[in-house]
């Protein structure tokens, strides 16, 4: 049986004011030790470095599971860039795209995602605040990560399906906004072209907009149609030609 690579030692916290490197190492170890103790992960990477003036100091640690008989492994990656006010926690599996913990929470969590307790710039200089932020993220992973820790293959399929639905919803919102502009410009043919493919997904207002555009594009006479659009409540009809 192959032995797992030895984990990098947790940087000791020096006497006196702690450096960010020492604070990061101590805080991430305290917050995510459960990955090692309860789930058999090990620290695969840990780095603290300056990444240029635009990013500033960057802290990153990766915990990785042992490979399965099929050669798959899972990983938990924590990254913090305090000057950019960025704190990210991602889970991943071999051959699957990374998943932010916010996305995992949206799929399997309960309630709203817990917000930050401290500013990241302040936390960079305060070990207790840094630990609190890491504990917050670790708590979310503990609460909604059971399928990830069980290596449930359906988890990744469910994530992909949810992403596809969100992408489709975003595209529909874009088409609806564009169709409003075209409607105001009285480009009826283009309104029909945009909305017809998504007709079954339209609400009452957009359906009415499509129906009216079809009539105008086909030059079918009518008495006008009231479009119940809160942003523009008005009668659209022959009088507005």
Residues of the chain with pLDDT under 50: 1-17, 219, 221-241
Q: Is residue 11 part of a domain?
A: no
Question: What separation in angstroms does the CA of 119 have from each of 50, 60, 70, 93, 127?
Answer: 19, 18, 42, 31, 12
Q: Residue 14: inside a domain, yes or no? A: no
pLDDT score, position 230:
46
Same domain, 230 and 127: no
Element (H, E) at 56: none
User: What is the residue range of 76's domain?
Assistant: 20-151
Task: Write down which residue in 110, 127, 151 finishes a domain.
Answer: 151
Q: Sign of the C-alpha dihedral, residues 80, 58, 23, 79? A: positive
pLDDT of residue 137: 96
- Together in a domain, 62 and 134: yes
User: H-helix or E-strand containing 101?
Assistant: helix 101-108
Same domain for 231 and 140? no
**How does 199-237 read in b/e, with b if 16+ C-beta sit within 10 Å?**
eeebeeebebbbbbbbebeeeeeeeeeebeeeeeeeebe
In a shared domain, residues 39 and 67: yes
Query: Residue 184: its pLDDT value, please?
Result: 92
pLDDT at 2 (0 to 100):
41
Give the CA-trace dihedral at 137, 142, 143, 145, to 10 degrees.
Answer: 100
Token representation of residue 77: 């990656």
Report how many domains make up the chain: 2
217 and 118 assigned to the same domain: no
Same domain, 186 and 123: no
> Would you state the pLDDT for residue 93?
92
Which of 85, 119, 151 terminates a domain? The answer is 151
The pLDDT of residue 52 = 65
Query: Is 13 a member of any domain?
Result: no
> Does one domain contain both 145 and 27?
yes
Does one domain contain both 61 and 139? Answer: yes
- Is 7 among the domain residues? no
Q: Are residues 142 and 32 both part of a single domain?
A: yes
Return mean pLDDT, the chain. Answer: 82
Q: Is the same domain home to 97 and 197?
A: no
Q: What is the pLDDT of residue 50?
A: 81
Hey, CA dihedral for 30, 121, 136, 164, is it positive or negative?
Answer: negative
Asked if residue 46 and residue 134 are part of one domain, the reply reads yes
Token pair for residue 173? 């919102």
CA distance 167 to 67: 32
Q: Please report whether residue 4 resides in a domain.
A: no
Last residue of a domain, which of 151, 174, 207? 151
Residue 207 within any structural domain of the chain: yes
Same-domain check for residues 131 and 218: no
On whether residue 166 sits in a domain, the answer given is yes
Percent above pLDDT 70 for the chain: 81
Nearest to 137 by CA among 199, 70, 198, 79: 79
């Amino acid at each position: 049986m192959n032995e797992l690579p030895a984990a990098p030692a947790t940087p000791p916290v020096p006497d006196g004011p702690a450096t960010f490197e020492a604070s990061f190492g101590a805080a991430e170890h305290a917050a995510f030790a459960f990955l090692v103790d309860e789930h058999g992960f090990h620290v695969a990477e840990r780095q603290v470095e300056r990444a240029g003036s635009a990013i500033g100091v960057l802290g990153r640690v990766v915990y990785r599971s042992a490979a399965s008989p099929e050669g798959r492994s899972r990983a938990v990656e924590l990254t913090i860039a305090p000057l950019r006010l960025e704190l990210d926690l991602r889970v991943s599996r071999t051959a699957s795209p990374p998943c932010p913990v916010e996305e995992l929470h949206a799929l399997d969590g309960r309630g709203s995602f817990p917000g930050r307790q401290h500013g990241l710039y302040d936390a960079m200089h305060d070990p207790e605040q840094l630990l609190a932020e890491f504990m917050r993220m670790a708590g979310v992973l503990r609460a909604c990560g059971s399928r990830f820790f069980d290596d449930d293959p359906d988890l990744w399929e469910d994530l992909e399906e949810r992403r596809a639905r969100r992408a489709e919803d975003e595209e529909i919102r874009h088409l609806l906004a564009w169709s409003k502009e075209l409607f105001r410009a009285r480009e009826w043919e283009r309104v029909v072209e945009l909305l017809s493919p998504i007709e079954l997904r339209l609400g009452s207002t957009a359906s009415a907009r499509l129906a009216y555009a079809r009539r105008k594009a086909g030059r079918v006479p009518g008495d006008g149609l009231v479009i119940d659009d809160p942003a523009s409540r008005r009668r659209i009809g022959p009088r507005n030609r």
